[in-house]
Structure 1
Amino acid sequence: MDAMQAQAAARGLQGVEALHRAWEDDWSDVPVCDIAVASRSTTVQDMAAALEQLRAKARLRVYLTHLVGGHFTDPLIQQVIGRALPTVPDYIYVLNILHRMGLHPELSYLTQENRLAGAPDWDEFARRVAWSMGSLDEAETARLRAWYERATPQQRAGAPMRWAFISWENPHGEHHDAH
């Protein structure tokens, strides 16, 4: 939000206001605006309700990002440790709901380095894995350490994170009532 405000100020844009709301929060004070953005925040219990919430608040367009592949933690690291984390619904789920809503979204992909990339040493690598997966027990730490010592720098960096960048015009946005 700070970056958006800084960019708006640098460009002399007026009427730009960033509101930070949880999906479960009351959105009654959120005005209907031209554009609604949900960035890396769409891991929700009720995706259809969240998409409708965005749709109801945007006159012109909605932009969102959603995880590709269902994993925040590299599946290889999960396998090495011996602990599988639950997956989240893939971006196709979002597209299917939008289709059911009668919308025709645009789709592209964003790729970024895995959060494990650039860890300068074992301690930092282990800290990043624990941040992602929760604390590791002795056996998990031993398996990870053994793998780390024989892994190449590319393997240690982990698979890149991929995000679906989904957007759609809101053809009926002017007629939606704010909830």
Structure 2
Amino acid sequence: MRSLLLETDWNEEWMRRQELRRTPDDPAQWDARARHFRPRETHPYAQDFLALADIRPQESVLDMGCGAGSLAIPLAQAGHNVVAADFSSRMLETLQEGIRYYGGLDGRIDTLQLAWDDDWQAAGIAPQSVDVAIASRSIATRDLKAALTKLTVAARRRCCITLIAGASPHLDEHIMRAIGASVTRGTDYIYAFNILVGMGLRPEVSYIDSPRRDTFDSLEDGVADFARMLEDGNEHRVDELRSYLAQHMVDNPHAGEPGAKGRPQGRYMLDHERITRWAFIAWSTGEPEPPELHP
């Protein structure tokens, strides 16, 4: 009996999906957003990622799509040498600001401007040049198999990535359900898992639930912000959105304080957290896991 699962070219299917995306990721977009990323305490999402990554003492790490260093900085603080790579030059500048802010990280983090589609070896990422390669919420490429292969080739022991496992991180499912709007759930991680299996690897999957509080200064500011969620046939639900926000906005006790990305928080927030679910996928690349020791 033929198996559709085994016969499907998951990378080809992924490429078809990417052709339907409105716009590909652009370094200029992230350059513009970089000003909102500032040194801060390690976010709970990053703490969960690092706990699942299980990086051993003194191991070197490639952090692909490092952004402003939410993982690279705590890794360096823990004694790891990190190659922090990103296609946004401004993000790398913001990371350098973070390195100076925290201090004591000289020589621990090497930054590299690099995109998924670049020639990694020509850029200095040689095969098995690091112990662990990670890509946290940063895989945005037409050729997913090529990206996963590059990570696998670069790492001597282990790779770890996260991809969306529910609604887009830009959506609040709670609101969308409440106003009768349709929601498309992300399945990116399913493609990655199946591509890795097809490569002869044995990926393992865990999940990270990342909470977030959206804040705003007035009802109309909230409507303008949340209205960006109303896509794909939901654009006409602005009145329902306004009614929902009016009923569920509460005073923000932390108004004016820096938020998760450094911007001052607004006067109001919603009476619930927005939860984004990420699939954490890890696989071994070469060195076998050490055997368990029993007394």
When normalised by structure 1's length, the TM-score is 0.71
Post-superposition offset of 1:68: 0.7
Q: 2:77 corresponds to which residue?
A: 10
Of 192, 207, 210, the match for 1:109: 207
Could you give the per-residue CA deviations for residues 124-169 of structure 1, whole angstroms, max 9, x where no partner exists? 53354256568xxx95433310122234879753551111111111
Give the counterpart of 1:63 among 160, 164, 171.
160
* Total equivalences in the alignment: 168
RMSD: 3.5
The 2-side partners of 1:5 and 1:113 are apart by 21
The amino acid across from 2:276 in the alignment is M
Give the aligned residue type for 1:106.
E
Alignment match of 1:162 (pick from 261, 277, 286): 277
SS of the residue aligned with 1:18? strand
Q: Is the 8 A contact 1:78 1:85 kept in 2?
A: yes
Query: Residues 43, 109 of structure 1: CA spacing in aligned structure 2 closer, same or farther, 3 A cutoff?
Result: same
- 5 Å-filtered alignment, 1:9-48, equals 9-13=76-80, 15-20=81-86, 21-28=114-121, 29=123, 30-31=125-126, 32-48=129-145
Decide which of 232, 239, 246 is 1:142's aligned counterpart: 239
Shift of 1:54: 1.1
Counterpart in the other structure of 1:175: none
Task: Kindly indicate whether residue 207 of structure 2 is the aligned counterpart of residue 92 of structure 1.
Answer: no
Q: What is the CA–CA distance in structure 2 between the aligned matches of 1:79 and 1:44, rounded to whole Å?
A: 30
Residue 210 of structure 2 contacts residue 277 of structure 2 at CA under 8 Å; is this kept in 1? yes
Following the alignment from structure 1 to structure 2, what is the Cα–Cα distance between the partners of residues 8 and 79?
38
Distance 1:112 1:12, change over 3 A: closer
Given the superposition, is the C-alpha separation of residues 156 and 8 from structure 1 closer, same or farther in structure 2, using an over 3 Å criterion?
closer
Q: Distance in 2 between matches of 1:18 and 1:93?
A: 26
User: 2:227 touches 2:241 (CA, 8 Å); kept in 1?
Assistant: no
Q: In 2 relative to 1, CA 166–113 (structure 1 residues): closer, same or farther, beyond 3 Å?
A: same
3-state DSSP of counterpart to 2:246: helix
Higher relative contact order (CA 8 A, sep 6+): 1
| 1:51, distance to aligned residue in structure 2 (A) | 0.9
Whole-angstrom CA distance in 1 between matches of 2:76 and 2:270: 41
Aligned counterpart, 1:176: none
1:17 alignment partner, SS class? strand
Q: Letter of the aligned partner of 2:120 in structure 1?
A: W
State how far apart, in whole Å, the 2-side matches of 1:66 and 1:123 are: 32
- For structure 1, the residue ranges without an aligned partner over 5 or more in a row are 173-179
**Cα 1:59/1:131, change in 2 over 3 Å:** farther
User: TM-score under structure 2 normalisation?
Assistant: 0.46
